[in-house]
């Protein structure tokens, strides 16, 4: 199966997925990086790894639909079977969500439904949460919504700073995102309404 990763920033989860593929833990090909930010570090990571890069800037298109149709064109040309969002800082619209229904997954640095949005780690830290974590979920048209595939919790310890919490979160992300992708590729995720059943 061919995977497309969507990223807007550093691409550390993209790198974790590349490592998992290289080690044979994920039996699939990361064929495409879709990026909307010309300054994203993910671009350099992809080029070093020999992954095809498509830079698609939203401001170059009159509407979100036009923007997404261009992305869909690239996905079809590369026979993409799974879209993995890895720090892609846009809410997907109906063209993509419906066109790739149940074939888009996202990772979020909190235990959804708590602390939705782009600043989840800081929001949990500022709130004084004792426990936070990471969620991998299928994507629907709502932000940080959709059936949950995997969740992993972690405790905020006395003396944790925002920076140390971010490092802990990223460590968990880099572990469970490849696990979730592996389950999808192996056909072990069964959607039952809003719930995901993992087939052993």
Q: pLDDT by residue (tens digit) across 154-173?
A: 999 999 999 999 999 999 99
Q: What is the value of pTM for the model shown?
A: 0.95
Helix (H, G, I), strand (E, B) or coil at 17: helix
pLDDT in tens, 89-116: 988 999 999 999 999 999 999 999 999 9
pLDDT at 193 over 90: no
Mean pLDDT of 170-199: 96
Structure tokens at 89: 């800082």
Q: Is 61 exposed, middle or buried (0-12, 13-18, 19+ CB in 10 A)?
A: middle
**Could you count the other beta carbons within 10 Å of the beta carbon of residue 59?**
6
Domains within the chain, CATH numbers bracketed: 2-198 (3.40.50.170)
d(CA 104, CA 181): 10
Closest by Cα among 123, 180, 179, 178 to 156: 123
**Can you read off the two tokens belonging to residue 195?**
């719930």
pLDDT digit string, tens, across residues 49-83: 999 999 999 999 999 999 999 999 999 999 999 99
Other beta carbons less than 10 A from residue 39's beta carbon: 8
Helix (H, G, I), strand (E, B) or coil at 87: coil
- Comparing CA positions, the residue from 106, 109, 131 lying closest to residue 118 is 109
In the structure, what pLDDT confidence band is assigned to residue 19 with cuts at 50, 70 and 90?
very high
Active site residues: 108
**Residues ≥6 apart with Cβ < 8 Å to 190:** 196, 197, 198, 199
């Amino acid at each position: 199966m061919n995977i497309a990763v969507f990223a807007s920033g550093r691409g550390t989860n993209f790198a974790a997925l590349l490592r998992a593929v290289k080690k044979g833990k994920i039996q699939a090909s990361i064929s495409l990086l879709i990026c909307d930010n010309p300054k994203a570090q993910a671009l350099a990571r992809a080029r070093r790894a020999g992954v095809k890069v498509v830079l698609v800037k939203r401001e170059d298109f009159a509407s979100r639909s036009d923007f997404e149709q261009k992305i869909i064109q690239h996905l079809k040309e590369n026979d993409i079977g799974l879209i993995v969002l890895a720090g892609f800082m846009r809410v997907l619209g109906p063209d993509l969500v419906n066109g790739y229904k149940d074939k888009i997954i996202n990772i979020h640095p909190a235990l959804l439904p708590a602390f939705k949005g782009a600043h989840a780690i800081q929001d949990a830290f500022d709130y004084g949460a004792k426990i936070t974590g990471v969620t991998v979920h299928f994507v629907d048209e709502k932000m940080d919504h959709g059936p949950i595939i995997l969740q992993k919790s972690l405790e905020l310890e006395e003396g944790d700073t925002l920076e140390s919490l971010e490092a802990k979160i990223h460590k968990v992300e880099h572990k469970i995102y490849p696990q979730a992708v592996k389950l999808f590729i192996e056909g072990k995720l069964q959607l039952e309404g809003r719930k995901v059943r993992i087939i052993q």
